[in-house]
Chains A and B, each alone.
Chain A
Amino acid sequence: MDSVNSKKQKNKLSVMAKREEKWGLLFVAAPAIGFLIFMLYPIIFAFLTSLTTWNGAKGFQGMMDRFCGFDNYVKLFADKKFWQTLLTTIIYLLGIPIGMILGLLCAMGMNRKIPGVRVLRTMYYVPVISSLVSVSILWAWVYNYDYGLLNTIIKTLTGLHGPNWLGDEALIKVSMIIFMVWKGLGTSIILYLAGLQNIPRSYYEAAMVDGASGWQKFKSITLPLLSPVTFYILVTTLIGGFQVFVEVQVMTPNGNGGIGYSAATIVFYLYQKAFESYQLGYASTIAVILAIIIFIITLINFIGQNKWVKTMD
């Protein structure tokens, strides 16, 4: 009797569980299907395309007719422009530690008892929410060789003509990094500030009793306890850093990537190959390599995480 009852209950439960399962799957169906159609399928397709010299003509058959194996990959490794744009992309990544250090300093300042913290925080955050196209246009104007704000200030202060911020192969990279740090600083400030506010006061009080100096407190309490935030910023900005495109297209004259292609990034190169010279096969090869680079870097981040990212407990 008892067993019959519990069996019935189990059956009823599993009917309910099945119903829940059906509805649950239905509710997540939209994003899941969207992922399959607009993400997974394109990734596989990108890999296939990278094995061809397709220019977009004659559909799928046209693509398979131009199958060339791994020729594109071989070609890419000998492609000077690829290495140049990859190097430029990596140089731009220097903005990440600069932004993190500045962001941490600002956040530590805002974590003190000073007036107007919320207003300050908002001011630093305005560039983040502004349209990338608009602020790139704005900075191209600020960097303008003859009439820009920066060179006007330099001339007023020193009487000398300022440098050609966007017209010099080396300097343009510095100019881009300054711009990117300015654009993204607000995010790291907010993240670090939230992290700092999350550290229990008692930790510092205990350190004070032990007579720890300010630097010691920073080194052995603040930095380790902020490491999850640092990790988060590092992962997201690295993924973003490999995708720099808009500022290059908007800030270089005629969107040409700068003198001698000096400001062009890997995504910029990929864009030009795909949508200006219609070498879809070759462009896809760049895309696949880009995906692999980002995947490996994120993987390294997550593996290395155990070494330096501490948790609160």
Chain B
Amino acid sequence: MKNKDTMSSGITSSKDKTMNIIVFILLALGAVVMIFPFFYMIMTSFMTKNQYLSGQLRVIPDPWVWGKYSEVMSKGNFISGILNTVKVEVPVLLIGGFTSSLAAFAFAKMNFRGKGAIFMGLLATIMIPFAVIMIPQYVMFTKFGWTDTLLPLIIPACFGNISMVFFLRQNLTSIPNDLMDAAKLDGCGYFRTFIQIFFPLMKGAVGTQITLWFMTIWNDYLAPTIFLRSEKNWTLQVVIRSFNTYYSIQSDYALIMAASVIAMLPTIALFFCFQRVIIESVAISGIK
């Protein structure tokens, strides 16, 4: 890395070099500002109440208190919150991931009347705020007897995710149409063509989209607060929020921070594992 930099800076002037150093320092300072709240959050979760309520700037815990994490885990709500979130994630990502990939395949590689219109119609839904449809959805799900179950969070999502369809369709345009024609000539059915030829080629893109979708569901808050009334059905974000309301009265910020840290871990871990493809997929959305 360093080597490459000195090599390429061979052609840059010394003025550029000093500029680069200044830019780097500014960007690094900015990055510290971005990250510092997280650092403080983790540190607070290990502090004694005396320390974080002392009003003095002491960022490193003294002494270190390790018990808050097990205390969070021992609250019944917290574990059930994680379980409920997983109960939403699994069927949505499996079924919704499948329906979205299948639709993307049809939009990209098949010909049928109304294709463009249907696609544009679906794309326009990205513009529709959830706030606008949440009341009718609430009324509808009450009628179905779904309120206070996880079904309102699962069933609609199983019909597919428009942004996933959009991205996969974009991705499929790079796969030559010849494959489709060859499959047709061989008398290979459309469904088999999708499963055996195209899906394996889309796997990477599907994986990225599923990862992003996982994060969205994991972090979702508004829909779960509306549809889930009783505590035993709450998803993780609703639980975390109730922790904040309840324990901030007791100034138990270490517990609140510990709970938030655990709640953020899965998405942050996923992001660090797949950051290259995730960032690429975000970047493409702006260029396309």
Contact = CB atoms under 8 A, between A and B. Distances in A.
Contacts of A182: 34, 37
Contacts of B158: 30, 34
A34 B248 CA distance: 40
A109 B285 CA distance: 22
A152 interface: yes
A239 B125 CA distance: 12
Contacts of B285: 191, 232
Interface residues of B, number: 104
Contact of B55 (A41, A121, A152, A267): A152
A20 B191 CA distance: 11
Contacts of A290: 129, 131-132
Contacts of A46: 132-133, 135-136
A39 B139 contact: no
Residue of A27, A33, A243 with most chain B CB atoms under a 10 A cut-off: A27
A131 B219 contact: yes
Q: Do most interface residues of chain A lie in helix, strand or loop, or is the interface mixed?
A: helix
Contact of B110 (A24, A32, A250): A24
Interface in A30-88: 30-35, 37-39, 41-43, 45-46, 49, 56, 59
Contacts of B100: 31
Given A21-B112, A43-B128, A109-B26, A31 B20 contact: no
A287 B134 CA distance: 9
Interface stretch (A4-12, A166-174, A215-223, A270-278): A270-278
B82 interface: no
A295 interface: yes
Given A130-B264, A182-B34, A280-B135, A243 B130 contact: yes
Interface string B183-220: 01000011100100000000000000000000100110
A177 interface: no
A72 B123 CA distance: 31
Interface in A117-135: 120-127, 129-135
A126 to B, nearest CB: 7
B110 A20 contact: yes
Interface residues of A, number: 101
Interface in A291-313: 291, 294-295, 298
A90 B224 CA distance: 26
A295 B127 contact: yes
Nearest to A187: B282
Interface stretch (B65-73, B86-94, B101-109, B170-178): B101-109
Contacts of A122: 272, 275, 279
B34 A123 contact: yes
B20 A114 contact: yes
Given A129-B267, A141-B256, A294-B129, A124 B31 contact: yes
Nearest to B128: A39
A163 interface: no
A106 interface: yes
Interface string B2-37: 100100110010000001100110111011001101
A194 B287 contact: yes
A139 B37 contact: yes
B40 interface: yes
A165 interface: no
B118 to A, nearest CB: 6
B257 to A, nearest CB: 7
Contacts of A211: none
Interface of A: 16-17, 20-25, 27-28, 30-35, 37-39, 41-43, 45-46, 49, 56, 59, 106, 109-110, 112-116, 120-127, 129-135, 137-142, 146-147, 149, 152-153, 155-156, 182, 185-187, 190-191, 193-195, 198, 228-229, 232-233, 239, 242-243, 245-246, 249-250, 254-255, 267, 270-271, 274-275, 280, 283-284, 287-288, 290-291, 294-295, 298
Given A32-B118, A131-B218, A245-B222, 19 more contacts: A28-B106, A30-B158, A31-B100, A35-B125, A116-B28, A131-B240, A131-B260, A133-B219, A133-B263, A138-B257, A139-B37, A147-B52, A152-B56, A182-B37, A228-B287, A232-B286, A250-B244, A294-B127, A298-B127
Closest 10 CB pairs of A and B: A34-B159, A194-B283, A24-B112, A42-B136, A27-B106, A191-B286, A31-B160, A42-B133, A45-B136, A30-B99
